[in-house]
Amino acid sequence: MEQYSFDQLPRAVSELHQKLDSIQDLLLESRQPVPQAIELMTISQAAEFLNLSVQTLYGKVCHREIPVSKKGKRLYFYKSELEEWIKSGKKKTMSELQEQLPSLVSPHKRRLR
């Protein structure tokens, strides 16, 4: 470790500050989100991703319960669409339902005679 005299300290602190700024800039650049490539899956890959059997997945496609793209005889699934499909099946908690209740009830109030 280098020893600094009292007169050299301001310059050393200034250099240290510049180095910290450059490190901070590098970290901020690396934080930029990298765009995800569109991931296309076959039916067997989608079944594995969803933890379903291939036959169950064919059934969901037949009943139009799941987002799918068809090109010729082949079925393709986008990973992002499957993730959104999974999220759309979320059941609301009791507190979420209680928060939503006033907005559901108020438009349907009847006038008392």
Residue entry with tokens 């899956």:
41
What integer pLDDT is reported at residue 38 of this predicted model? 77
What is d(CA 11, CA 20) in angstroms, rounded to the nearest whole number?
14
Q: What is the pLDDT of residue 107?
A: 61
Q: Tell me: the pLDDT tens digits for 67-80?
A: 999 999 999 999 99
Please, are residues 43 and 73 in contact by the beta-carbon 8 Å criterion?
A: no
The structure's pTM equals 0.52
- C-alpha–C-alpha distance, residues 57 and 42, integer Å: 11
pLDDT > 60? residue 108:
no
